[in-house]
Structure 1
Amino acid sequence: MGRTAPAVPDVAAATANRVKNILAAPEYDSEMPAFDNAHAVALCRLWGVETVTERSLKFAVMERNLAVHKILGRWRWSEADLRDWIKGMRRPASTATSGGAA
């Protein structure tokens, strides 16, 4: 009676803080594959790209739209590769064709 549930750690906030620490490290190089799946998603969210998930990363690699580095059996991404992929995802709105005759 009267017991409270233990506090659940906020994994998303902890991951975002870890990403910020990686970016702030003096030896950090944007070309090095420093981000695992969860960190790559958190980095994209820090940039304001909310649609990126671990699944979308997997499909981007399978479709050869995103470079991946396999280190000790785990996928890693560099900031530069993620930025290039996101830039390629964005399409200008003016590319849509109108149905009317000119």
Structure 2
Amino acid sequence: MTELMQDAGQTGSKVVGTDPALPTMNRQGVVDFCRAMGIPAITERFVRWQTIDGLLPTYRVANRNLYSENDVRSWLESMRREGTGGDAA
């Protein structure tokens, strides 16, 4: 079983080989996942506030917020904005 784990204990990293719908990441795990996807701007603080504001779905397990890969991917996609020319901000 240890070969299926990728330091999931302290860092909150995603467990390898699990269903992406299962809640396997904590806040730091979400940050690590985003960085691995090439999105370095996501911070723990941003994840926390997106959760509090109800924009990032979470599972409450044993008094902890956990996130699924599917929910994180959907959350990232929800932030997509269409460019309108010029400065799209």
TM-score (ref. length: structure 1)? 0.66
Name the CA shift for 1:96/1:71 in 2 (closer, same or farther; >3 Å).
farther
Higher helix share: 1
Q: Whole-Å Cα distance in 1 between the matches of residues 22 and 29 of structure 2?
A: 14
Given candidates 52, 74, 78, the residue that maps to 2:64 is 74
Q: Whole-Å Cα distance in 1 between the matches of residues 80 and 71 of structure 2?
A: 15
Matched residue, 1:42: 32
Which amino acid in structure 1 is aligned with residue 39 of structure 2? V
Deviation at 1:43? 0.5
Q: Whole-Å Cα distance in 2 between the matches of residues 95 and 64 of structure 1?
A: 30
Question: Which string of whole-angstrom CA distances, capped at 9 and with x for unpartnered residues, describes residues 7-63 of structure 1?
Answer: xxxxxxxx59x44xx23x2xx101100001111110011111111111111111122
CA RMSD, Structure 1 to Structure 2 (Å): 2.3
- Unaligned 5+ runs, structure 1: 1-14, 98-102
Which amino acid in structure 1 is aligned with residue 45 of structure 2? R
* 1:56-67 → structure 2 map (5 Å cutoff): 56-67=46-57
Runs of 4+ with deviation above 3 angstroms: none
- Number of residue pairs matched by the alignment: 78
Name the CA shift for 1:74/1:95 in 2 (closer, same or farther; >3 Å).
farther
Deviation at 1:94? 2.2
**What is the DSSP-based 3-state SS (H/G/I as helix, E as strand, rest coil) of the residue aligned with 1:93?**
coil
Identity %: 26
Matched residue, 1:93: 83
TM-score (ref. length: structure 2)? 0.75
Flag the structure with larger Rg. Answer: 1
